[in-house]
Structure 1
């Protein structure tokens, strides 16, 4: 049994995690611990407070009791908003507090892109444009070429959590670009776990979503690989050998 821990801000699309656990169909347990979201706002100052070391540390003790072997901060905006170096500091602080390997959803996207060998990406973000642009800047700092960014202008995670298939597919299609090798949907408040193969079929390319890559990142931290076609190309491709 491999136990993975996730610190998840507030309550929105956390039901993606038991769904993913089912789709993995393996000896893997996904434990979600909720952190205090504070002010629910896709605004830089609120996101910085949400991802602060103190807030993350409050969930660590509960996470340890689950027997987790690795922890991922399951929040994209609450990590990339710190910038490339600041997001590294955030993860280092979390690893020290938890006493186990740690990462965040923002780094999960970067590692997933490298796993698939894609560099040119399009971003479909639920966020306002200024926050969406910060995610694009984070990806560029990692060496990605961001060929298109579509911000939907949604202010709260609570509203994103109410989106259904229609809104999800509309965002993905509007974000797509002919020059993109993959489309990224970076919000853990967005329900995507049940739609990954259909999204990829609709766009004709890999689609990486926040909760999907977050779970994959936890597996990566524990050196586990699971073949799960229902979770998209990321869970079916052989790893790219770095030379």
Structure 2
């Protein structure tokens, strides 16, 4: 590893309260995390497909200027649903635009889920999220386009506000993950950068005997792969065992 510390830039939806703690929890040895908050959506409205698609399509040039000030090695786009709602072509284009504008490697939460599942070598998944129904359908389509079959899709069963997603307790997230399991599922996907999924990975894997891939864990896995970083002392489930 380069003797200089690797700087990781993270773009965070401005009402998100759990992405930053997760990133600090998973931060690779020798790296530092630097955050820039994103607008582009109405925090007082239910974060439905239109709201999240609007966030994904919003102008982030100013935010990229701000995060580029730390000269990051990687810039993470820290909202999964903002690009799940648009599809993989949009997601890839956004990552390419971030790379051109920041001069850094770029990873999105949505494509990081795909990379994590690919690394595990699975084909069929159980999917869980706190999203409103239409976003779940778009997420299933996104994964299908990447070659993954969703054999069960489970949501929280009610419409959550932007803050409500982040206020789900680890016990609620655990129950959500277990409810997404299916005999044919080879892994469980917990999608949403504001859901406290990282905290329950080990618990869910122990209960189900299957790997768990979460938005935040998958982004850190992907950046560690791309920067050639060893796992170090961090442990976040079977996915990190591949490092």
Question: Is the shorter-chain TM-score for this pair beyond 0.5, marking a shared fold?
Answer: yes
Contact 1:42 1:131 in 2 (8 A): no
Residue among 13, 18, 21 paired with 1:15: 21
Which range is displaced more, 116-125 or 34-43? 34-43
Change (3 A) 1:4 1:229: closer
What is the CA–CA distance in structure 1 between the aligned matches of 2:185 and 2:136, rounded to whole Å? 17
| Residue 38, structure 1, aligned to residue 34, structure 2 | no
SS of structure 2 residue aligned to 1:231? coil
SS of structure 2 residue aligned to 1:123? strand
| Residue 6, structure 1, aligned to residue 10, structure 2 | yes
Residue among 184, 204, 207 paired with 1:199: 204
What is the CA–CA distance in structure 2 between the aligned matches of 1:161 and 1:204, rounded to whole Å? 26
SS of structure 1 residue aligned to 2:167? coil
What is the CA–CA distance in structure 1 between the aligned matches of 2:237 and 2:61, rounded to whole Å? 32
What is the CA–CA distance in structure 1 between the aligned matches of 2:141 and 2:233, rounded to whole Å? 31
Contact 1:20 1:193 in 2 (8 A): no
Contact 2:80 2:192 in 1 (8 A): yes
Superposed, which structure 2 residues align to 1:60-79 within 5 Å?
A: 60-79=64-83
Contact 2:190 2:197 in 1 (8 A): no
Change (3 A) 1:79 1:225: farther
Q: How far is 1:227 from its partner?
A: 4.6
Superposed, which structure 2 residues align to 1:112-151 within 5 Å?
A: 112-151=116-155
| Residue 27, structure 1, aligned to residue 30, structure 2 | yes
Change (3 A) 1:50 1:186: same
**TM norm structure 1:** 0.90
RMSD of aligned alpha carbons: 1.7
What is the CA–CA distance in structure 1 between the aligned matches of 2:210 and 2:10, rounded to whole Å? 28
Change (3 A) 1:215 1:32: farther
What is the CA–CA distance in structure 2 between the aligned matches of 1:68 and 1:127, rounded to whole Å? 31
Contact 2:53 2:82 in 1 (8 A): yes
Contact 2:26 2:234 in 1 (8 A): no
Contact 1:229 1:236 in 2 (8 A): no
Which range is displaced more, 43-52 or 28-37? 28-37
Q: How far is 1:37 from its partner?
A: 4.8
- Count of residue pairs the alignment pairs up: 234
Q: How far is 1:218 from its partner?
A: 2.3
Change (3 A) 1:166 1:172: same
SS of structure 1 residue aligned to 2:64? helix
